[in-house]
Amino acid sequence: MKQNKKYKIMKTKLQHTALTIILTAILTINLMATAIDFKEESYVDDIPFNTELVVEQMIAQTFDFEEEANIDDIPFNTATVTSALNGDYHTTIDFNMEKEAYIDDLPFNTKEVVTNYNYTKAISTDFEMNDEAVINDIPFDTYTIVVNYTNHICADLFATKM
């Protein structure tokens, strides 16, 4: 076992050494390539026009498309023909689709997933409610009724324990 572990360590060291040598060689070649200084070539006048001027004209050029005149070279009205042929074509075809069998291939209930998502979305929404004006439409004092009821319950409990 120790021999196998030693072999793996040696193999790793060899790979690291090889990688370091390759990266060093690539870096050295790149540095040497940047040091190469090419001499300026003399101008060769072999193009019979000024390319800079041509490019400038192409960039500055604006295209103005004018409405073309109607050329009466088709002896029939294509709009009439296409509407006559295709107008009711798709509405007159009866597409009879076969009813597919139910495939229970989803391991979860999609309705439940959507319901949970909608619930989570609704809960995370902040609703800012404005304070409403007090409406005094109850003809009795609820506070007094609750206090009297609570006192009555407490008195009954106290009486049963004695």
pLDDT in tens, 54-102: 888 878 777 777 777 777 787 777 777 777 776 666 666 677 888 888 7
Distance CA 9, CA 7 (A): 5
Sign of CA dihedral 144, 150, 156, 161: negative
| pLDDT bracket for residue 114 (50, 70, 90) | very high
pLDDT exceeds cutoff 70 at 21 = yes
Structure tokens at 77: 């009205």
- Rounded-to-10 torsion of CA 70, 72, 74, 80: 60
Distance CA 113, CA 120 (A): 11
User: Would you give the DSSP letter of residue 28?
Assistant: H
pTM of this prediction exceeds 0.75: no
Distance CA 128, CA 106 (A): 39
